[in-house]
Amino acid sequence: MQKVFLVINLILTVTLFTIVFVIWSDKPIIVSVDSVKLLNEFVGTQKAKMQFKKKEDNWKANLDTLNNEVARQRLFNERNFTKMSPTERANSYDLLRKKELQFQQYKDAIDTFIQQEEEKLTSELIKEIDVFVKDYGKKNGYSIIIGANQFGNVVYTEESYDITEDLLYELNKKYK
């Protein structure tokens, strides 16, 4: 009988301590963050995208210039077709083909370059955010910070476990 009493007493004590721990611990140890929102609403991302857009516009302006040269050469060939000798015609159409090829090669190179630069920029931003999130997690005593996104890593999180807004605020504050 005394053993039963001790076991019941032990169970009640453990239960009481568990309840006290849960009530007094106001921050969960495992939290989640909307990683897509964090990346998109980070001031650093927005500034980097604006700077990148300026560079991209400049590259595309160069592309437009080459395209205009091709159009001018095509128009020249059409307007002067009957006035040109066969040799001049051949040379003029040769020049047009060279300009079209030059334009296409430059366009392909610019498209590839833009894609690589965007990937590089995104990678650098993600690294910066990851370092911040690790430090934030350590500073705030979190054991695990789970990245939630629309691709299904975390389907649901109770609001009290979602620290996206707090993290975003601190990240943007640090950036400014």
pLDDT for residue 30 is more than 80: yes
Cα–Cα distances in angstroms (integers) from residue 14 to residues 10, 18, 109, in the given order:
6, 6, 67
Question: Is the pTM above the cut of 0.85?
Answer: no
DSSP-assigned letter for residue 29 = S
pLDDT (tens digit, 9 = 90+) per residue, 125-134? Answer: 999 998 999 9
Q: End-to-end alpha-carbon separation of the chain, Å?
A: 68
Query: How many residues belong to the chain?
Result: 176
pLDDT for 9 equals 47
> Residues 160, 162, 167, CA angle at the centre, nearest 5°?
120
Across residues 136-159, what is the average pLDDT?
Answer: 77
Residue 104: its pLDDT value, please?
Answer: 96
Print burial letters for 42-67: b (CB count within 10 Å at least 16), e (below 16): bebbeebeeeeeeebeebeeebeebb
All domains in the chain, ordered by first residue: 2-175 (3.30.910.20)
Q: Could you tell me the two tokens for 76? A: 């020249």
What value does the mean pLDDT of the chain take?
Answer: 83
pLDDT band at 3 (very low <50, low <70, confident <90, very high): low
Cβ atoms of 133 and 167 closer than 8 Å: yes
